[in-house]
Structure 1
Amino acid sequence: MTTLSARPRAAFGARFVTPLVIGTLLNAVNSSMIAVTLVPIGRDLDAGPARTVWLVTVLYLATAVAQPVMGRLVDTFGARRVLVAGLVSVAAAGLLGALAPSFEVLLGSRVLLGLGTATGFPAAMALVRARASRLDLPVPGGVLATLATSTQASMAIGPTLGGLLVGLGDWRWTFAVNVPVAAAGLVLALCWLPPDEHTRRPGKPIDLAGIALFAVTLTALLAFLMRPSNWPFLPAGLVVAGVLIWHELRARDPFLDLRALAGNRPLAATYLRQCLAYLVIYAFLYGYPQWLAQGYGLPEPVIGLVLLPMSVATVTLSAFGARLGLGVWARLLITGSVLLAGSLALLPLGVGTALWLVVAIGFLFGVGQGMSTVANQTALYVQAPADRIGTLSGLFRTSQYIGALASTSVIAFAFGSQASDAGLSLLALVLAGAATVLVSVTAADRGLRAVGQSGHGRP
């Protein structure tokens, strides 16, 4: 007789999970791999730092806007179809970037790359949810952990992979590598993933106006978050947001079902937790190395070693955090608590601080990042209705990107032109405030106690 623990393993074997992993890791690896190529790209295509940084920015913007849109297409046309289309787009973007004759074409390839990679996570969540529901299985915590771990690990190895490819060839190889990877994912998806069981429902056209209004709203607000000096984007975004709300409340089949979202307070809390957690995590991830270099005086190779325990903790807890025997609520409380402790620990740091303490603080933030990802993903899996899992998974990733992009403004506010001890203390206060809100929101959400222990439970 098949045991309960064996059934999920049989249902979610390597043949099913592998194409999903490839689809989800492509965004993360391309987000971080570009870091080591900006200088040679600028040199070859005659673009200064102010222009090359847009290669980073446009991918974040395109992905943040496209995730829920692609999720809506997943809910409408089927997850495998959308994932296959996304992988084709990634391969095309990789080829375009590898052959790009100008900076403008290269920028376009990054936009296409963002759109293509945005299909991975919503499609994966929809496929996992459909299989678990069809077989009446509990929450597949192991699969969610695998998806999260592959994302975290690929983001961590991205700069190393990029450096290796540049060393073997040049920066164009970091774009070309997407072609064989996406092609492999495409073949495996077609061979191993089950065909989609539904198509678009007749009589309910896609809400193109809602999608367009959402894209304009989010782009304007993200542009403000990245650089608050561009303040006109804020009122413009709010005005368009008002039009979006008006339209969606009247649409026959809205892109964003605002009434359902408003009535699903647990899901809204999950979005808020993800946004706050990644605001704190990314502000530390991008801000701490600056202080280590300019304030503490460490050379760059040593900074990488100092942050290594953080990366190890993140990947390890993403993979095995669900096996600690703690429920989602407990894991998220630990997340908020360690991020708050790490933020407060930044306050007294200075040139004379012992190196072991500098390393230990990074480890705390690694624990927070590793614990939060799978726990919030599990909460999303349970809280999202099955017929909207793609759209709502996309919004989950968008909330993460909002926190990540807002962190850049926090760093600029705290450091200014120099990452000094005083700037680090100011950054610590801001992060401690965000972490305090995170702990409070989590502690108040008692409904999370019903979201399974160690990845078990029912959607």
Structure 2
Amino acid sequence: MTEAKTDAPRETDKPGFDRRLLPPMMLGSVLNPINSTIISVALVPIGEALGAPASQTAWLVSALYLATALGQPVVGRLIDIFGPRRLFLLSTGLVGVAGVVGTLAPNLAVLIVARVLLGFGTCAGYPAAMALVRSEAKRTGRDSPGGVLTALAVTNQTIAVIGPLLGGLLIAAGGWRATFALNVPLAVASVLLGLWRLPKSAETGESTPRGRLAPLIDLPGMGLFAAMLISLLLFLMNLHLRNWYLLVIVAVAGTAFATRELRAATPFIDLRVLGGNTPLLITYGRTLVAYVVAYSFLYGFSQWTEEGYGLTPFHAGLVQIPMFLLAIGVSIVFGRRKSVRGKLLAGAVGQIIACLVILTLTGNSPLWTLILVALIFGVPQGLNNLALQNSVYFQADPERTASSAGLLRTFAYIGSMIASSATAASFGQRADTGGMHQLAWVMLGAGLLYLLVTVFDRTLGRAATPDAQAAQQTSD
């Protein structure tokens, strides 16, 4: 008995999280948000330079999220099998290629191709980071990654601060093409950090024998998932009755996908497990609605401040800084607290209040009212992202952490597609005040739905905490 007590490691004797992993984790995970936020102030200059209206430049937003929504769960599943290192290096290398294509693009079509490449290139960063958090928890025996998850959330919020302002500075210094050229040095730094810091150990799955890999990759399931998702997103981007056939393709591909996944020995998305995980399903639904509001504001409000209010891209970026600064502060203060319901409820109320204030804005409103809206949006921006990320980490099957995290982003990007579609429909040829008010009503409806889903979600009281996860694993 004495010997057993001596051999049993105390909590303080257990190794801690390997902090050397943080630089590549953070840099990789921010490649997508920096390209999301930096384009928000570049849409108007790109439209002016290439002679494209707001309804066409909206495809620059949709192209990235279409590719990322498809790629995130696919790359996440591959990370679950192969480990993060290989997928991280391949994807971030593609970001550099996309940067070159975008910088040299002669027209809007090529620019959209560059955004698609960026979407696929930024797929690995976030799932790889979540997989590394999980593997470190397994290695150290400390499944309390609150500080690391908060660091990821704060890093993304910081980049969101820098994005619009940096975009304005780059446009002022070198035109909108500079916002694409930025990806080249970022990709080089990511690849070098990945080669230097990311592990090759068996903990990440990279030691799986080659002969056993093929059965683990569900290519038919991935193909059907892609057909379903692409058809859905194309319909959302072209809302019209003449595109009814896209919904038929969605239904057929979705049925075939479900049939395939329920029968596959190693499914791409295990629908049996997912279907039995009600808290995770609700989290995905909540994520979709939250991002309809968030991205409608990010892109719609930015375009309106330039075209409807008359700000330059640089000043439009400055207006959004209070939102992201407050979001960072909120994430830091509440990051280590386990409560999820409180964060989500506060975020829901913040969204609703901000939408109501937007409905009062006009082209003659004082500048401080624009800053007020940005500040109000800072609360849900900080709380929602943090709560949703932590929920997925603790609700997902530990063996599918990366793919579950990728699927979280997929639902977020479907929300962004709906937001982009609503923005294009609201603004048409120009982002005027009437269009901004129309978009605000859409945002308000989504915000109310988000609040209702959160209020009536009884799983929040027992989900999204390490203790709940441990209890679930014990019962399984």
Q: Answer yes or no: same fold by TM over 0.5.
A: yes
Query: What residue in structure 1 maps to residue 354 of structure 2?
Result: 342
Partners of 2:287 and 2:410 lie apart in 1 by 9
Residues 213 and 243 of structure 1 are in contact (CA less than 8 Å); yes or no, is this contact kept in structure 2?
Answer: yes
Deviates more, 1:420-429 or 1:155-164: 420-429
Distance of aligned partners of 1:426 and 1:104 in 2 relative to their CA distance in 1, 3 Å threshold: closer
Partners of 1:456 and 1:356 lie apart in 2 by 45
Query: What residue in structure 1 maps to residue 270 of structure 2?
Result: 257
Distance of aligned partners of 1:164 and 1:5 in 2 relative to their CA distance in 1, 3 Å threshold: farther
Deviates more, 1:400-409 or 1:160-169: 160-169
Quote how far apart the aligned CAs of 1:387 are. 1.1
Distance of aligned partners of 1:208 and 1:382 in 2 relative to their CA distance in 1, 3 Å threshold: same
Which residue, out of 366, 379, 404, partners 2:378?
Answer: 366
Query: What residue in structure 1 maps to residue 23 of structure 2?
Result: 18
Quote how far apart the aligned CAs of 1:428 are. 3.9
Residues 382 and 458 of structure 1 are in contact (CA less than 8 Å); yes or no, is this contact kept in structure 2?
Answer: yes
Which residues of structure 2 form unaligned runs of 5+? 1-8, 471-476
CA deviation vs aligned residue, 1:338-362 (integer Å, no higher than 9, x gap): 2123233444555776655553233
Which residues of structure 1 form unaligned runs of 5+? none
Residues 137 and 458 of structure 1 are in contact (CA less than 8 Å); yes or no, is this contact kept in structure 2?
Answer: no
Query: What residue in structure 2 maps to residue 210 of structure 1?
Result: 221
Residues 327 and 379 of structure 2 are in contact (CA less than 8 Å); yes or no, is this contact kept in structure 1?
Answer: yes
Partners of 2:428 and 2:99 lie apart in 1 by 36
1:134 and 2:145 correspond: no
CA deviation vs aligned residue, 1:406-459 (integer Å, no higher than 9, x gap): 112333455566666665554444333322221222223333334578x99866
Matches for 1:16-415 after TM superposition, within 5 Å:
16-35=21-40, 48=52, 54-98=59-103, 107-166=112-171, 169=174, 172-197=177-202, 198=205, 199=208, 201=212, 204-229=215-240, 230-290=243-303, 297=309, 299-300=311-312, 303-323=316-336, 325=337, 327-349=339-361, 356-414=368-426
The aligned amino acid for 1:439 is L
Query: What residue in structure 1 maps to residue 5 of structure 2?
Result: none
The aligned amino acid for 2:96 is A
Partners of 1:346 and 1:171 lie apart in 2 by 28
Instruction: Look up the SS of the partner of 2:335 in the other structure.
Output: helix
Partners of 2:13 and 2:335 lie apart in 1 by 17
Distance of aligned partners of 1:399 and 1:146 in 2 relative to their CA distance in 1, 3 Å threshold: same
Residues 32 and 159 of structure 1 are in contact (CA less than 8 Å); yes or no, is this contact kept in structure 2?
Answer: yes
Deviates more, 1:413-422 or 1:380-389: 413-422
Quote how far apart the aligned CAs of 1:393 are. 0.7
Partners of 1:414 and 1:107 lie apart in 2 by 21
TM-score by length of 1: 0.85
RMSD: 3.4
CA deviation vs aligned residue, 1:307-364 (integer Å, no higher than 9, x gap): 33223222332343315x4612211111112212323344455577665555323322
TM-score by length of 2: 0.83
Partners of 1:444 and 1:23 lie apart in 2 by 36
Partners of 2:80 and 2:321 lie apart in 1 by 39
Distance of aligned partners of 1:166 and 1:4 in 2 relative to their CA distance in 1, 3 Å threshold: farther
Deviates more, 1:216-225 or 1:306-315: 306-315
Quote how far apart the aligned CAs of 1:294 are. 6.4
Partners of 1:140 and 1:363 lie apart in 2 by 29
Partners of 2:399 and 2:51 lie apart in 1 by 45
Distance of aligned partners of 1:305 and 1:205 in 2 relative to their CA distance in 1, 3 Å threshold: closer
Partners of 1:327 and 1:320 lie apart in 2 by 13
Quote how far apart the aligned CAs of 1:277 are. 0.9
- Identity in percent: 42
Partners of 1:425 and 1:58 lie apart in 2 by 25
Instruction: Look up the SS of the partner of 1:11 in the other structure.
Output: coil
Quote how far apart the aligned CAs of 1:264 are. 0.6
Instruction: Look up the SS of the partner of 1:217 in the other structure.
Output: helix
Instruction: Look up the SS of the partner of 2:215 in the other structure.
Output: coil
Deviates more, 1:258-267 or 1:184-193: 184-193
Instruction: Look up the SS of the partner of 2:34 in the other structure.
Output: helix
Partners of 2:365 and 2:195 lie apart in 1 by 55
Deviates more, 1:419-428 or 1:64-73: 419-428
